[in-house]
Amino acid sequence: MKQIKLSYLLIAITFVVTLASCHKDKVIPKTNNPTATRAGLYVLNQGGFGSNNSTLTYYDYTTKQLTADLFSTANGGSKIGDTGNDVEIYGSKMYIVVNNSNRVDVVNAKTGKLIKQDSVHQCRSVAFYKGNAFITSYDGNVAVMDTTTLSISKYITVGRNPEQLVVSNDKLYVANSGGLSFGNPDKTVSVIDLTSLAETKKITVTANPVSLAADTYGNVYVISLGDFASVQGGITVIDNKTDAVKSQFAPSLGYNIPIAAQGDYVYYVTADNKIAVYNAKTQTAAQANFITDGTVITTPYTLAADALSGEIFVTDAKDYSSNGTLYAFDKTGKLEYSIVVGINPGKIAFVNK
């Protein structure tokens, strides 16, 4: 299970230090869509694997206030569960994928109030398309949830131990890691037709694919970790029109596997804890490190790009057992503010007003 974030290999302490924050005033720049400005952001903190201490931090852009665990606050002290692995907002609802608790919590995106829980065994990640939520399960399939009824309508068989997934060109791409077979990982990305809801093909990529992102130029990026022996990890670029592999390259990657695409650029983490930048338009390396002001990230754990503001967000898991930090950078890589969040801050979601 090497491709699962490094925190899975560590036993985290079970209590959370009181959160504190240190930040400059948050300014939302004008956009061409003024009705969709942000209310704030959520950080899903995984906690320690087996510790049942995942939390959901909320940062309000207007009040500059933190809620350390909005889920618990909104639901009478109830916990999210064990190892919250993904959080995404679709419409008025937020979907929290809780891996080791084998469930998806659907909550009100603005209040965090629980609407429904659905069981999905060893669920990993979620993506959306035209009224359906698609949730990977380590059982080797993708669960399809109707976002109106919030019921699972079917399962689509894919490859071994699927991790992240992304929608691009009306197709769903699924990274089949095979991560439970150490030394014998999967090396495919499944392509699912989003009309028939069936797998149409598998694309061969570098072994142990885990993370995906899609740009606006018709490319899907796949981060693979390799087999930890003879096959080095790397990035595969897939053409979303032909589903052909356009290129493969092998930057020095660490154990943490986040990737984010925004505008002309793709961001990913390197083995020396830098945020590398790849030019999606020219398909060339752009910067060895996006951060330009000397800010040091000890353990980069997730990346997120805000399409409205152009900001890039990076979380730092530090030692995997104490509270992490979220850093917000402007387009030029300069730090705007930072806030203390929870243990192993693994995903970020933006909520509109």
Sorted by where each starts, the structural domains of the chain and their CATH numbers stand as 6-205+294-352 (2.130.10.10)
Please, which pLDDT band fits residue 119 given cuts at 50, 70 and 90? very high
Q: Is the pLDDT of residue 232 over 50?
A: yes
Q: Is the pLDDT of residue 8 over 80?
A: no
Reported as a single tens digit per residue, the pLDDT across 279-323 is: 999 999 999 999 999 999 999 999 999 999 999 999 999 999 999
Other CB atoms within a 10 A radius of the CB of residue 117 amount to 15
Consecutive H or E run containing 74: helix 70-74
Q: Is the pLDDT of residue 97 over 80?
A: yes
Contacts of 213 (CB under 8 A, 6+ apart): 166, 220, 221, 259, 260, 261, 266
pLDDT at 16 (0 to 100): 32
Residue 107 pairs in a beta bridge with: 94, 114
Q: What share of the chain is helix, strand, coil (3-state, %, to 5)?
A: 5, 50, 45
Instruction: Please report, for residues 170, 210, 272, 307, 308, the alpha-carbon distance to residue 129 in angstroms, rounded to integers and kept in the order given.
Output: 8, 21, 36, 18, 21
pLDDT at 36 (0 to 100): 61
Q: Is the pLDDT of residue 172 over 50?
A: yes
Structure tokens at 273: 């804890």
Reported as a single tens digit per residue, the pLDDT across 17-44 is: 333 333 333 433 333 334 468 999 999 9
> How far apart (Å, rounded) are the C-alpha atoms in residues 205 and 234?
9
Q: Is the pLDDT of residue 351 over 70?
A: yes
Helices and strands, number each (H, E), in the chain: 1, 29
List b or e across 121-154, with b for residues whose CB sees 16 or more CB atoms inside 10 angstroms.
Answer: ebbbbbbbbeebbbbbbbbbbbbbbebeebebee
**What proportion of the chain, given as a percentage, has pLDDT over 70?**
90
> How far apart (Å, rounded) are the C-alpha atoms in residues 226 and 207?
5
Q: Is the pLDDT of residue 4 over 50?
A: no
> How far apart (Å, rounded) are the C-alpha atoms in residues 206 and 226?
6
> How far apart (Å, rounded) are the C-alpha atoms in residues 159 and 202?
8
pLDDT at 256 (0 to 100): 75
Consecutive H or E run containing 114: strand 114-119
pTM for the complete prediction? 0.90
232: helix, strand or coil: strand
Consecutive H or E run containing 66: strand 66-67
Q: Is the pLDDT of residue 15 over 50?
A: no
